[in-house]
Copies of this chain bind each other. A is one copy, B any other.
Amino acid sequence: MDEPEGRRVPKIPDLRPCARSPVVDGLKIASQRQGGIVSRFDGDLELIDAYWRAANYLSVGQIYLRTNPLLREPLQAQHIKPRLLGHWGTSPGLNFCYAHLNRTIKARDLNMIYIMGPGHGGPAAVANAWLEGTYSEVYPEVSQDEAGLARLFRQFSSPGGIPSHVAPETPGSIHEGGELGYSLAHAYGAAFDNPDLVVACIVGDGEAETGPLATGWHGNKFLDPVGDGAVLPILHLNGYKIANPAVLARIPEDELIRLFEGYGYRPQLVSGDDPERMHREMAAALDQALDEIAEIQSMARDGRGHGRPRWPMIILRSPKGWTGPKEVEGLPVEGTWRAHQVPLAAVRENPAHLAQLEEWLRSYRPEELFDADGRPAGRLLALAPSGERRMSANPHANGGVLLRPLKLPDFTAYGVPVDKPGTTATEPTRRLGAFLRDVITANPDNFRIMGPDETASNRLGDVLEVTDRVFVGERYETDEHLGPRGRVLEVLSEHQCQGWLEGYLLTGRHGLFNSYEAFVHIVDSMFNQHAKWLKVTRHLPWRAPLASFNYLLSSHVWRQDHNGFTHQDPGFLDVVLNKKAEIVRVYLPPDANTLLSVGDHCLRSRDYVNVVVAGKQPALNWLAMDQAITHCTRGIGIWEWASTDGGGDPDVVMACAGDIPTLETLAATDLLRRLFPELRVRVVNVVDLMRLQPSDEHPHGLTDPEFDALFTPDKPVIFAFHGYPYLIHRLTYRRTGHHNLHVRGYIEEGTTTTPFDMVMMNDLDRFHLVMDVIDRVPSLGARVAHIRQRMADKRLELRAYTRQHGEDAPDISDWTWPH
């Protein structure tokens, strides 16, 4: 069969393994290339091209073929899948980079992983893992032979098979790429504290339009050339997203170069569609880039270089659907948006399409690429690295296997003594900060704290006694605790924080993301994707467990009276609870000691997303450390010291979850004692929100008898809740006494206020809770109307006080537990 135009490659029959490239002056190579004098790659060219053809063949096969995987017989309609799914357009570019990186891995014995921003190129990821043998090691039924090849093709995007995108099921991947935008953040996260790792990161030109990716380039200001590894971004301009041109593919070349120089990189452009020339260019560009990385690292590590390096990057401009059909039915396909998904769509119905597909597949010359058994030809196997050097088998891409447990100091040592509940105040996160300081000291290279510049304002500042905030660039005398190496990464981008921490955890380390509660919604979708990733990996035995993703939401809704309505949103909890129960945990510790206990627990856990909501303002201490540990271990419990039901049957249950709701509930209980001394009140505090769910829905869920024992099956329950009140109803609607449950929470009525004015505005205040009790405990009798009105009057009076004085009345702000 004739070779199609434009992709002829020189045929060099015998191939020597490529010698280790000498470290040469990058600029010299560049000038040689401009003069066209690049010859030293000739030896590899045909092999790289053959490898590329093999990966392309396998990519097309996955999209189209049900049977006849090696085209041993002429292609017929019945060999074709009934539903044609998957994305061809990005795949040849991904395969091109993969083949070239493989050469450099072997030549330089590199420790490299491959992040595929264009995650739609699932066929490419799977093709390369299969070529390298990893796929068959992980999934033995997909063997490296003809039967395995048939299975490989058939399973792709088929019922009971594998997803069409790069996914947790894909060996070598830490990045799904279904939702676009996070490849660079994942790449930098993976590189932190991995000084020997090179993270090759393919950025699609569609993805490059997203916000998270556009700021992702600034990761280079946070990468320490001494203690961290390298990220090698390869921006792949293939011109189109779905139906539209991609922005960066349509700006003039000088703008493009300036943009990436402005981002602080040294870009090299590899551009064209002639495979032979492109192989030469790409090989030269990669050698130059890897030389530059080696030089940067060696200078920094020898103490010869200071300041922020100008890291290399590559801009690869190649046709979308490169090597695919040039035209279909008279319309251009290769190099256009028509190549995005399935270029030939009617293959089963249209014999011309079928013939064109066969021509396309045979253009890769499968007979040269696979042996008689359907195994990749030996010379292809020779290009692939071996063992853990294969990008598909690199342990960093299955980080759990590298995970070292944190060395944790005894958290009880950071606790506050509580002789009498509710009489002393502490900033809970400040205690946690002291604990985290010593976690950092004990774990200097595998624990990081991320946040949008709130570590100090969240009262975790003690950590800065032992580490710096990372900034690789110009520093001034007035800067404090700022340096190129540290455990705290602060950037005003929740996307960067989230993406970095994901990349860090996925490569086997530990960490914490602290943020404003309202603004953590910025990463709702990233949380969703990470939770989905964890959910799938849970059922993949070869993926080792990871450290949990820990959120600490300290500037929470009830302390945003001064910042106002925009800063008030507790709805992240609702988003979190939509995900599978086996993955998510939500903790609402009400004071310092409970926060320490919860924090310690979260840092030890695996494969969860833990969300901890805890205050940073001084708050009353309720539980001594031993009580706190017991309470947090149970996750929910009766506070007997605050209850007046004598361990027997209460008249009303006052439940609470969250620090401010707990404060108001206790203050309401105090009022109730004085107003209705005979009323039997039970106080129930919830730290672990999942305890409220039925036991068949969440592993932490209480059984119905347990729930009824706490909340009673028939007594009114006044539940003061940190978040939107619906959430409690959603968790408890199946419980026996649910119709007795009355929830107070945040109801979106915020405006500028004082702290107590804010709880009043949302009817969560102590006086309103007392009114709720009055409304729901009819046994209180005739005095009720009188007292109820007193409560309502008190609220008006307090509101007037704040209006007049600009702050809360002292009897509110100074209240302590008097019993």
Q: Which of B258, B562, B579, B802 contacts A164 (CB 8 A)?
A: B562
User: CB distance A211 to B214 under 8 Å?
Assistant: yes
For A522, give the chain B residue with the smallest CB separation.
Answer: B525
* Docked complex Cα distance between A243 and B154 (Å): 55
Asked if A457 is at the interface of the complex by the 8 Å CB criterion, the answer is yes
Which of A189-197, A492-500, A668-676 forms contacts with chain B?
A492-500
User: CB distance A525 to B519 under 8 Å?
Assistant: yes
User: CB distance B159 to A757 under 8 Å?
Assistant: yes
Asked if A729 is at the interface of the complex by the 8 Å CB criterion, the answer is yes
* Docked complex Cα distance between A482 and B241 (Å): 14
Asked if A163 is at the interface of the complex by the 8 Å CB criterion, the answer is yes
In the bound complex, residues from chain B placing their C-beta under 8 Å from that of A456 are: 242-243
Which of A127-135, A293-301, A466-474 forms contacts with chain B?
A466-474
Flag A565-604 by CB within 8 Å of B: 1 or 0 each: 1110101001101111000000000000000000000000
Q: Shortest beta-carbon distance, A237 to chain B, in Å?
A: 13
Asked if A261 is at the interface of the complex by the 8 Å CB criterion, the answer is yes
User: CB distance A752 to B258 under 8 Å?
Assistant: no
Asked if A215 is at the interface of the complex by the 8 Å CB criterion, the answer is yes
User: CB distance A164 to B564 under 8 Å?
Assistant: yes
**This chain: how many copies in the complex?**
2
Q: Shortest beta-carbon distance, A536 to chain B, in Å?
A: 7
Given A243-B453, A752-B159, residue A210 in contact with residue B206 (CB < 8 A): no
In the bound complex, residues from chain B placing their C-beta under 8 Å from that of A82 are: 805-807
In the bound complex, residues from chain B placing their C-beta under 8 Å from that of A212 are: 211
In the bound complex, residues from chain B placing their C-beta under 8 Å from that of A252 are: 474
Q: Which of A147-190 contact B (CB under 8 A)?
A: 154, 157-165, 167, 176, 178-181
The count of chain A contact residues (Cβ–Cβ below 8 Å) is: 124
For A205, give the chain B residue with the smallest CB separation.
Answer: B492
Asked if A713 is at the interface of the complex by the 8 Å CB criterion, the answer is no
* Docked complex Cα distance between A221 and B180 (Å): 21
User: CB distance B242 to A457 under 8 Å?
Assistant: yes
Flag A17-53 by CB within 8 Å of B: 1 or 0 each: 0000000000000000000000000000000000000
User: CB distance A209 to B473 under 8 Å?
Assistant: no
Given A492-B206, A519-B179, residue A748 in contact with residue B579 (CB < 8 A): yes
User: CB distance A473 to B251 under 8 Å?
Assistant: yes
Given A164-B562, A259-B259, residue A806 in contact with residue B244 (CB < 8 A): no
Flag A230-250 by CB within 8 Å of B: 1 or 0 each: 000000000001111111001
Asked if A379 is at the interface of the complex by the 8 Å CB criterion, the answer is no
Q: Which of A499-558 contact B (CB under 8 A)?
A: 518-519, 521-522, 524-525, 528-529, 532, 535-536
Asked if A81 is at the interface of the complex by the 8 Å CB criterion, the answer is yes
User: CB distance B751 to A163 under 8 Å?
Assistant: yes
Q: Shortest beta-carbon distance, A177 to chain B, in Å?
A: 8
For A532, give the chain B residue with the smallest CB separation.
Answer: B565
Q: Which of B81, B247, B258, B528 contacts A218 (CB 8 A)?
A: B247
Asked if A490 is at the interface of the complex by the 8 Å CB criterion, the answer is yes
Asked if A332 is at the interface of the complex by the 8 Å CB criterion, the answer is yes
Flag A319-348 by CB within 8 Å of B: 1 or 0 each: 000000000000010011100000000000
Asked if A66 is at the interface of the complex by the 8 Å CB criterion, the answer is yes
In the bound complex, residues from chain B placing their C-beta under 8 Å from that of A469 are: 244
Q: Shortest beta-carbon distance, A326 to chain B, in Å?
A: 12
Asked if A754 is at the interface of the complex by the 8 Å CB criterion, the answer is yes
Q: Shortest beta-carbon distance, A263 to chain B, in Å?
A: 6
In the bound complex, residues from chain B placing their C-beta under 8 Å from that of A163 are: 563-566, 751-752
Q: Shortest beta-carbon distance, A351 to chain B, in Å?
A: 21
User: CB distance A571 to B563 under 8 Å?
Assistant: no
Besides A243-B455, A243-B457, 16 new A-B residue pairs in contact (Cβ under 8 A), listed by A number:
A83-B562, A159-B802, A163-B563, A163-B564, A163-B565, A163-B751, A165-B564, A178-B566, A211-B216, A218-B247, A241-B492, A244-B469, A255-B261, A521-B528, A524-B525, A574-B574
A-B residue pairs, 9 tightest by C-beta: A259-B262, A178-B566, A211-B211, A163-B564, A214-B214, A258-B262, A521-B525, A214-B215, A159-B802
In the complex, 19 of the A-B residue pairs with CB atoms within 8 angstroms, ordered by the A residue number, are A82-B806, A83-B806, A163-B565, A165-B564, A209-B492, A210-B494, A211-B214, A241-B453, A242-B456, A247-B473, A250-B473, A337-B478, A518-B525, A532-B565, A535-B565, A536-B751, A574-B575, A579-B748, A733-B738
